[in-house]
Amino acid sequence: MKQTVTMKFVAPLALIAATASSFTFPTSTRTTSALKASKQNDETSIDRRDFFISSAAKAVSISALVATNIDVANAAAPSAQYSKLYQPDPHSMDGKIVVLTGGNAGLGLESTKRLAKAGATVVFTSRDQVRGNKALDEVNEYLKEGNTDESFVGKAIVVTLDLCDLDNVKSFKNRLEAAIGKDSKIDVLMNNAGVMAIPDKRITKDNYEQTFQTNHLGHFALTSSLLPMLSSDARVINVSSEGYQFAAKGLDLDNLNGEKEYGPWSSYGASKLENIYFTSELQRRASESDAYKNLKAFTLHPGAVQTDLARYLIGEEKFAAMKEKGFTSLKDKILFETLAKFVKTVQEGASTQVYLAAADISQLDKDAGKFFTDGKVEKLQAFALDSEKANKLWSMSEEMANVKFEL
């Protein structure tokens, strides 16, 4: 059976790299060397621009290896043609409590704004209190702007969380209860925070590879610890990515921590596949339980978003300077304009996760446990539907994080 790899995630990297460095798509004779060149060992540290270009080369190389048919129809379309902005109706989330990780920037910050505008109390997390407070000020300004509704109740609260420290993750529940009250119930848990394609292998204080712990294990432990606070019909939303296809051979359970080898994109792809497995297994277990049979889990691809690509591949400060102060070279100008054309704005990128958090459950009930793109269910590759591997990952994650889901 031939495998098809969608290029919504991969193509923007390749197209931008071609612009930035006169990069040409690798032929079959270049594939092996491109893959070897893109691997990083533990000691390697390289310039972000060089990494950006080599990462795009790897993206194309991987697609050449695992794809026989490549769907590029959506990849080359301007973002406005495949994105719709979703804003919940005013007061539609009054009284709802949303907990959202990674809310001080990007998709998380945008989601916080729009959910709070609909009336929710949004508790967003930030590793750093100062950055969190700065984001909170921005949210408050957004909520005040043009608002004359005296019955408006939406608000945001920031609470610190470090997903790379499991002790900190497990103590988050106490900090959350201090912020919203011990008897409060969470209506939506949005596991949004994440890292992308870290050039070097980095180890957390818990002795786990950083991408694995940030994108999967930390959120797995957080969800477990917050389970008693979830309402009976809560939604758990795990932000994944079509980048899961970088793990096209399937999840290697013997290399979760990069024990055998580490590659920036293969590690990222594996973590996004883990998000998908976690979602499907959580939904299966919840539906079979008495206490959480009405819980709904969803996962999604937000799209290739400007801010995320800029942060991890170009450098956030350089990208901001390019936007605000002009361009130091024609190459930078072309690079920025190409990036803006072929990827989503953060407003567009946040729409699917906001939709999953706020839409009437009657629109979503039958699709619990599934993978969404642009507000609709997308069919996953066969290797992402491996229920046996999802179950094994769950058991291994409980052991590694030293937690137990009481479903």
pLDDT in tens, 178-220: 999 999 999 999 999 999 989 899 999 999 999 999 999 999 9
Position with higher pLDDT, 309 vs 62: 309
The pLDDT score that the predictor gives to residue 305 is 81
Q: Per-residue confidence at 340, pLDDT binned at 50, 70, 90?
A: low
Over 70: is that where the pLDDT of 313 sits?
Answer: no
In a shared domain, residues 140 and 268? yes
Q: What is the pLDDT of residue 27?
A: 37
| Residue of 358, 65, 396 lying closest to 259 (CA atoms) | 396
Mean pLDDT value of segment 217-242:
98
> How many CB atoms are located within 10 Å of the residue 70 CB?
16
The burial class, CB within 10 Å (0-12 / 13-18 / 19+), for 108 is buried
Angle between helices 264-287 and 48-66 (to 10 degrees): 60
Two tokens at 152? Answer: 């408006």
Q: Of 59, 58, 67, which Cα lies nearest the Cα of 5? A: 67
88 vs 35, higher pLDDT:
88
Helix axes 106-117, 129-144, angle to 10 degrees: 40
In a domain, residue 83? The reply is no
237 inside domain: yes
Q: What is the CATH number of the domain that holds 227?
A: 3.40.50.720
| 97 and 203 fall within a common domain | yes
- Whether 290 and 335 share a structural domain: no
Residue 191's pLDDT is 99
pLDDT digits over 145-186, tens only?
A: 989 999 999 999 999 999 999 999 999 999 999 999 999 999
Shared domain check, 359 and 334: no
- The proportion of the chain whose per-residue pLDDT surpasses 70, expressed as a percent, equals 72
Residues 33 and 102 in one domain: no
Compute the Cα dihedral for 383, 386, 389, 394 and give only its sign: positive
| For residue 231, pLDDT beyond 50 | yes
Domain around 253:
92-305+349-401
Phi, psi of 104 (to 5 degrees): -90, 0
Q: Is residue 407 part of a domain?
A: no
Domain count, the chain: 2
In the chain, % of residues over pLDDT 90: 67
> Which has the closest alpha carbon to 240: 210, 280, 201?
280
Average pLDDT, the chain: 83
List the beta bridge partners of residue 305.
344
> Are both 301 and 313 inside the same structural domain?
no
222 and 242 inside one domain: yes
pLDDT score of 32 more than 90: no
The phi and psi torsions of 70 (rounded to 5 degrees) equal: -120, 125
Q: Which of 268, 277, 312, 355 is the catalytic position? A: 268
Q: What is the DSSP string of 141-171?
A: HHHHTT---TT---EEEEEE--TT-HHHHHH
Using DSSP's 3-state secondary structure scheme, residue 404 falls into coil
Instruction: Please answer whether residues 397 and 266 qualify as being in contact, where contact means their C-beta atoms are separated by less than 8 angstroms.
Output: no
What's the pLDDT score for residue 84?
73
Cα–Cα distance, 322 to 392 (Å, whole number): 45
- 197 and 160 in one domain? yes
Looking at the structure, do residues 220 and 231 belong to the same domain, yes or no? yes
Domain boundary among 292, 325, 342: 342
268 has catalytic annotation: yes
Q: Does residue 320 sit within a domain?
A: yes
Closest CA relative to residue 269, chosen from 5, 2, 34: 5
* pLDDT, tens digit, 9 for 90 and up, residues 52-106: 445 444 444 444 444 333 333 333 333 333 357 999 999 999 999 999 999 999 9
Domain identity same for 33 and 161: no
- Does the pLDDT value for residue 400 go beyond 70? yes
Mark whether 46 and 108 lie in a shared domain.
no
Report the alpha-carbon distance of residue 136 to residue 130 in Å, rounded: 10
Residue 42: the pLDDT is: 35
Last residue of a domain, one of 342, 362, 389: 342
Q: Where are the beta strands (DSSP E) in 45-91?
A: 69-71
Q: Are the beta carbons of 102 and 194 closer than 8 angstroms?
A: yes
Would you list the DSSP string of 259-293? Answer: SS---HHHHHHHHHHHHHHHHHHHHHHHHTSSTTT
Task: With respect to residue 338, please indicate whether it lies within any of the assigned structural domains.
Answer: yes
Residue 67: predicted pLDDT: 39
Least Cα distance to 360 among 89, 143, 82, 84 occurs for 89
CA-CA distance, 104 to 133, in Å (whole number)?
8
Angle, in degrees to the nearest 10, between helices 106-117 and 351-358: 40
Separation between Cα atoms, residue 88 and residue 49, nearest integer Å:
38
- Give residue-wise pLDDT tens across range 5-28: 554 555 555 544 444 443 333 333
- Of 39-53, 318-332, 365-379, least confident by mean pLDDT is 39-53
Place of tokens 């969800």: 223
Query: Does residue 87 belong to any structural domain of this protein?
Result: no
In a domain, 382, yes or no: yes
Does 360 lie in the same domain as 253? yes
Domain closes at, from 318, 342, 366: 342
Residue 86, in any domain of the structure: no
pTM of the model: 0.82
